[in-house]
Chains A and B, each alone.
Chain A
């Protein structure tokens, strides 16, 4: 499985960041997985942004929910991130990842872990 992020590396303040993640070597419609976005500000830790199931069902970080939208295109095996009204605080490396939900017995919860990652794409916010 491979994931590859793409999109503009430079975004102006107050504008919208748009990134895509192309999935190869596996189907984005696999019922066992969600697909997520995680970011990492320079020199800092990891922040989960949100995740999507192939049906279009989404879960977002509450702190970003008002500005985030994640969509999926099963026909092209891609999913995408939009983050509106960006500021310098949104700078960093953005990763897409395969998100395995927690399943205990016959019950599954969307929370889980990220077992395959893209290489990441650097995003700079500057006018």
Chain B
């Protein structure tokens, strides 16, 4: 199984901050990495596919990068609605998710 490890597990930030969430795969997964946002009590929302492609309708302050084993999700200027938990998901071999990064208000 390909293990996905996110860091940090939780992160405190303020509105306007630049935030980076990291996801590491246990083996090379190319660019087969996707990102989701989940707010409490809600279903996940799809954000980014194949590491760096923004899903339609997702604000441009979100961006993704990386390949191989190391990936990042960046929020360039944090907005109040961005406080949520973020999950990465690999689609290289079967499907597995990271454990999540909780983004909290500082």
Contact = CB atoms under 8 A, between A and B. Distances in A.
Nearest to B97: A46
Contacts of A44: 99
Interface residues of A, number: 23
Interface residues of B, number: 24
A42 interface: no
Nearest to A63: B1
Contacts of A116: 46
Contacts of A118: 43
Interface in B48-106: 49-50, 55, 87, 89, 91-100
Contacts of A33: none
A48 B95 CA distance: 7
**In terms of DSSP, what is the predominant structure of the interface of chain B?**
loop
B65 to A, nearest CB: 17
A113 B32 CA distance: 9
A65 B22 CA distance: 30
Given A45-B98, A45-B100, A113 B43 contact: no
B66 to A, nearest CB: 16
A47 to B, nearest CB: 7
A99 B46 CA distance: 11
Interface of A: 44-48, 59, 61-63, 95, 97, 100, 102, 111-120
Given A48-B94, A62-B94, A113-B49, 18 more contacts: A44-B99, A45-B97, A45-B98, A45-B100, A46-B36, A46-B89, A61-B94, A61-B95, A102-B32, A102-B50, A111-B93, A111-B95, A112-B91, A114-B36, A114-B89, A115-B49, A117-B43, A117-B44
